[in-house]
Structures are given as C-alpha cells and as structure tokens.
Amino acid sequence: MPSPEPVGRVRAEASPAGARSPFQWLLAKEVRELIASKSYWLLLLVIGALVGHAFITSVNLYAEASGIGGGPSALSQGLSPLEGIVVPTLGAYDLAATLLFPFVVIRLFAIEKQTGELALTLQAPARFSTSVMAKTVALSAAWLVAGIAGVAALALWRGMGGHLDAGEVATVAIGHLLRGLLTIGIGAAAGALAASAASAAIIALTITLGTWALDYVAAARGGAIASVAEYTPSAALRVFEHGEVRIATVLILGILGVVGLAVAAEWLQEGRPPRRRVGGAIGAVVIGAVCCVAAGQLRATWDASEDRRNSFLVADEAALRQIRQPLHVTVYLAAEDPRLADLERGVLAKLERTMPEVEVTYGATSRSGLFERANDHYGEVWYELGGKREMSRSTTEPIVLETIYGLAGLQPPTPVAVQPYPGYPLAKRSAAAPWFFFLAWPLAVAAAWWWGNARPSRAPR
C-alpha cells in the first residue's frame, strides 16, 4: 500500500498551474498580491520624492562647490561624484529600506495568516519553502523596480555632463541590494512570528532601533562592540558607500537575510508540532550565527573607488605584503577622539586590507579621553612586529608606514610619481529633475497602479 503524500507536497500533475511549474504559479500569485498592495504603491510614490529631493539637493551643492554663479570653487581633486552625487542620491533607499519597505514585506508574509489562506498554501503543489522563495523573488523584483528612480537620477546626472565611474556606482548599488535582502529577511521573520501585521511592524522597528543603538554604543566605546557593529545595516552600507567591497560584509548581510527567511519558512508551517517549529527556527539562527562567524574571518576586499581612497600606493602595498609577521597595534585613544577616526579610516583599515595579519587593541578606558590626560600613555600608538616595539603619536599615513618599515627592517619604497585624482567639477543645476520626480514619476506610478488594478484581470490558467 503506497504511503500517503505528505502535507505541502502534491504531485506536479495535480498542479492548478497546468503547464506552468508550481514555482511559476506561486510567483505569479505573489506578484498579484504586490500589485494589489497599497503599501507598495505608496513606497513607489514616496521613493520618487525622496530620491528627487536628495538628487536636486546634491546637484545644487555640487554646483556651488564647482563655482557656479561666479563663486569660489573647491579644489577639483575634492569633487568626487561618488560622495557628492551617488551616495547622497541613493541614500534615500536606506531610509526607504528602514521605514517603508518592511511594511511591504510584512504584508506579503502576514496576510496569509490573517485571511486563512496559509492553510491552502501549505497544501499547494510544492514544498512550503518554494512559496517562501516565490515571495522572496517577488519582493526582490519589487525592490529593483523601486530602484528605477535612482537609475533615472544618475541618468539625469550623466545627461548634464556629469561623470560617473561604473565600479563606484556598481559597488553602492550592491550595498543597497543587500540592504533590501536584509530587510526582506527581517520583515519575513517578523511577519511570521507576530500575531498580526501591526505587531510585526513593531518587531521590525525594534530591530532597527536596536541596530542604531548598537552603532551609538560602538561609536562611544569602540573595541569588541565596534567589531560587531561593523555589520549593522547602516555600518555595512557605509563600507559600500566608500567604494569598497568586503567579501565578509557581503556574505554576512546575505546570511542574515537568508536566516530571516528560514525562520519564516519554519514558523509558518502551522501543521507541524510547535516544538518542531521552535527547534527549526532556533536551528536556523544557530547555523546562521556559525556561518556569520566563519564569514567574518574572510579578509578579501576590493577597492572599487576611482581615487583608491581605501588603498595605499601600489609600491607601499607591495612592500607591506612582504611582511609575514603579525602586526600588533595598541591604541591609547578614546572612541570620541577625532585622531582615532583619522587613524582607523586613513591607516588601520588599509593595513588590515593589505597585510596578512593585523591585530588592533584599544587601551583607552573612557569615551572622550578627558579623564585620561594624566595617563602617560594617552595619545600613544604602539606598533609591535617581530618582537620589536615602537611608539608614535602621529596618525598620518607616511609616519605610520615609516614606523612599520623600521620595525620590519625594510627600506621604504622609492616614491613614484602618481597621477593625482583629477576630480570632476560641474557647475550646473538640473532643470529637468523637479519635473521628472515631482510630476512625471507620480503620474507614471498612478498609471501603473491603474493598469495593474483597474483593468480586467484574467484568472491564471
């Protein structure tokens, strides 16, 4: 006697999708749910206004720095489209991913529980994980569609004669795509665990506020907390906005998003015993944590910035890679001391990218250093390499590299003339941007909404 078919797995020939696969049928269903979702259309309307305001403001500031209207212009080397146009314009998506996109995700995962449709989905002609995958693909496509506003802004910039570097734009875009995936994971887990969409929204907002609090504590205290805070959404996005791609950051953001989806897939299977659902969710979190720890050990990075802001000179990098002994750095600077920020961004981050092994220890015990002035070591930075130690109070790149070369017994490389970053001034304002973002974009969204909801629809075959 054949064994009964398990719940949630029906033979493909019984699929209501006919010639289409179960995944295609479920994906079409989720797309229709998105089209019917008012929250998604509101997201599209608001994202156009956010991107438009950010772009217009950025272009105006960039034009003023370039000397529009006869005013004084900044040095051309300091006019980078990456930080002047791309980052602030696409930064609107960080705000949308924090405050708007979670509601779209939560609705797609919570509506089935509220309407009772979940019981039918569990009996669909596919594994339930296929349904979760269909939701993920639909939401990812929705996030990409929302990105059209950002693409349009950058196209307007190019049409004005502005410069864009493909590597820099792609790096920032990757960061926002991963930010969207993380939001999908958080929203999916919140929508699955909460009893209602309102409760799920509170959970998602609590997680967001928690990451902001972690960023604040890390900025104030540094140390191990700062190492963990490197992978909060805001901190991780800043890595891409600096033109750097870190494989550890990419993997950890992806893992966290997948863990959220796995928790949702386990918890929503209400036909299973509660103990099994809890065990599956906990197991997904534990496996995800182990994978995150392992991914955090990877140090491969790529500097995609046109001005190589994340790298030493090529000759210095070649010399530093010859040093095989581990470098230990002890920093006696408080977390709020601006010299520490200069040291970390300008030197330590580059050393960690270049040398095989760099260990940094923070010796200051207060936040501001005001009460450590009596400490004889405050302000010192000690470098230890191959059993030798040397102290320096400087946080500038040339002096730090000279100290390291001295400890390693290496002759500093001969300076090579390098073509400086030219900078790309553009003293223009965009006359078309307000018309596009505040008139054409809302009309296009309204037309798309009418086409998707008001026109007669055919039932899927």
C-alpha span between 219 and 227 (Å, rounded): 11
User: Which pTM does this prediction carry?
Assistant: 0.86
Give the pLDDT of residue 219: 65
- Judge contact between 54 and 433, C-beta under 8 A: no
pLDDT in tens, 288-308: 999 999 998 888 899 999 988
Q: What are phi and psi of 58, to 5 degrees?
A: -65, -45
Q: What is the pLDDT of residues 436-454, one digit of tens each?
A: 999 999 999 999 999 988 7
pLDDT tens digits along 225-247: 767 778 888 889 999 999 999 99
Q: Take residue 228 and report the two structure tokens written for it.
A: 């963990």
> pLDDT, tens digit, for every residue of 61-112?
999 888 887 666 656 777 899 999 999 999 999 999 998 999 999 988 877 7
Helix or strand (DSSP H, E) at 451 = helix 441-453
Other CB atoms within 10 A of residue 16 CB: 12
pLDDT for residue 454: 73
Instruction: Please state, in angstroms and rounded to a whole number, the distance separating the CA atoms of residues 88 and 60.
Output: 12
* List of residues 6+ apart from 365 with CB closer than 8 A: 372
Which pair of structure tokens corresponds to residue 143? 């996030």
Give all domains of the chain, ordered by start, each with its CATH number: 21-303+426-453 (no CATH), 314-408 (3.40.30.10)
Three-state SS for 334-354 is CCCCHHHHHHHHHHHHHHHHH
Band of residue 6 on the pLDDT scale cut at 50, 70, 90:
very low
Distance between CA 361 and CA 223 in Å, rounded? 7
**Distance from C-alpha of 392 to C-alpha of 337, rounded to nearest angstrom:** 16
What does the block give as tokens for 331? 């920093």
pLDDT digits (tens, 9 = 90+) for 378-428: 888 999 998 899 998 888 999 999 999 999 888 888 877 778 888 899 989
Residue 374 scores a pLDDT above 60: no
Query: Residue 314: in which H helix or E strand, if any?
Result: helix 314-321
Structure tokens at 335: 């977390």
Q: How far apart are CA 202 and CA 193, in angstroms?
A: 12
Q: Could you give phi then psi for residue 459, rounded to 5 degrees? A: -70, 145
CA 200 to chain centre: 22
